[in-house]
Amino acid sequence: MGEKGAMAVSELLCFFITLAVAVIVGTVFYKLGFPAGAMVGALIGVSALNILTGWAFMPAAVKNLTKTVAGLFVGMSMTMEMVRNMKRLFKPVIVLVGVIFTLCLSAGTLLYHVTGLDAVTALFCVAPGGLTDMTLMTMDMGGDAAVVAVLQVLRLLSVYCISMPLARILGKKLGGFVHENPKSSVEKKPLSREEKRKGMVLAAVVALIGGAVGLGLAELLHFSVLVLIGAMVTTAAVNIKTGKLYMPKAVRRAVQILSGALIATGVTADSLEKLKTVILPAVFICCGFVLINLVLALLLHRVCKLDMATAVLSSSAGGATEAALAAPDLNADPSVVSVLQISRLICTTSFYPLLVQLLYQLL
């Protein structure tokens, strides 16, 4: 066997070891109920593997596949019902996205100046998007994805531990949404096995086409985030038109595991030393997001006339699914929360990297 053949076998073995560690540790963290457990577990497990042995390896093609599937899930959150709701919620969406972008970019700039973090890392640490998407974008733009992943997890924890209880308290004091019917007036018909199969195939084909177009544009424009955006745009367009796309939740967990493993392949002993410096940024981010949440909620309540519980939950920079599921229990309007949260997520995925690139050139 030649030198190239031996190297290929070695890389293949390292890939399978990396994948096995990521799946095992990611699954354990997910089962324990840790926030973003699949991704965080894979990140910790593969980081340990890489620091102790240096064996962690993921092929370049896995990164593009991961970004494509991540874009698929963001795009699938767009439905015709959401587009209809956008008409009456246009003003709250503009207020939410405009203010949260301004505050987060300002906070990221301040974080860059008061800590030793580079500009890209600092700006993505406070990005109000999805954990998987933001860490993948950080990698693409040359930032420290491990630091971003840690601080984004802390951001999510601050949302679950502070923002959701805050929505309940303020909703009781200042008024919450009155549920005339606790059950949705439009019950979704469960999909048959055949419908799920066809929906999965269609979703996969559409996302791969979008990802391939995005990859071509990314190579042309030297902006690799376009792979994720391409998959997101095509998936959203087809899902709005047909509403027939489907992908099991297990695939989302698989993407989170792969994303965690990808980030961890760049984690070394030096990276671990660098993580000790994020204590100040962590406190800054947790306090900052609670403050941003309150400012946005008051604006939505006063300017857009949303009830306070709905305003607080809609402006919390956590998971869109978790916020919508928690809405009925917190006396918030789940339909409004869903539209505003998903609008924030899609706008962040589409436009935040462009703003980061512009700011990076200025800083």
Does residue 56 sit within a domain? no
The predicted structure's pLDDT at residue 178: 44
Does residue 260 sit within a domain? no
Return the closest-CA partner of residue 129 out of 106, 114, 151, 161. 151
Which is more confident, 36 or 230?
Answer: 230
Under 8 Å between Cβ of 256 and 263: no
Which tokens belong to 363? 């800083």
Q: Give the E-state strand segments of the chain in sequence order.
A: none
Confidence band for 316, pLDDT divided at 50, 70 and 90: confident
Return the closest-CA partner of residue 71 out of 315, 263, 238, 221. 238
Mean of the per-residue pLDDT values for the chain?
A: 82
Does residue 65 sit within a domain? yes
Which is more confident, 183 or 335?
Answer: 335
Report pLDDT digits (tens) over 279-304.
778 888 888 888 888 888 889 988 88
Does residue 33 sit within a domain? no
Confidence band for 15, pLDDT divided at 50, 70 and 90: very high
The predicted structure's pLDDT at residue 241: 92
Share of the chain above pLDDT 70, in %: 86
Q: Report the C-alpha gap between 350 and 225 in whole angstroms.
A: 9
The predicted structure's pLDDT at residue 321: 57
Which tokens belong to 237? 């367009």
Confidence band for 246, pLDDT divided at 50, 70 and 90: very high
Tell me which amino acid residue 175 is.
Answer: G
Does residue 12 sit within a domain? no
Which letter does DSSP use for residue 357 in this model?
H
Residue range of the domain that includes 142? 61-178+194-247+271-362
Report pLDDT digits (tens) over 213-232.
999 998 888 777 788 889 98
Confidence band for 320, pLDDT divided at 50, 70 and 90: low
For the chain, the domain total comes to 1
Which tokens belong to 279? 């204590």
Does residue 227 sit within a domain? yes
Mean pLDDT lowest among 102-106, 234-238, 317-321 = 317-321
Which is more confident, 175 or 153?
Answer: 153
The predicted structure's pLDDT at residue 132: 75
Does residue 231 sit within a domain? yes
The predicted structure's pLDDT at residue 185: 38
User: What is each CA distance from 84 to 78, 88, 185, 279, 342, in whole angstroms?
Assistant: 11, 8, 16, 43, 14
Does residue 50 sit within a domain? no
Mean pLDDT lowest among 56-70, 292-306, 314-328 = 314-328
Check pLDDT > 60 for residue 186. Answer: no
Under 8 Å between Cβ of 326 and 296: no
Confidence band for 75, pLDDT divided at 50, 70 and 90: confident
The predicted structure's pLDDT at residue 16: 94
The predicted structure's pLDDT at residue 25: 96
Confidence band for 36, pLDDT divided at 50, 70 and 90: low
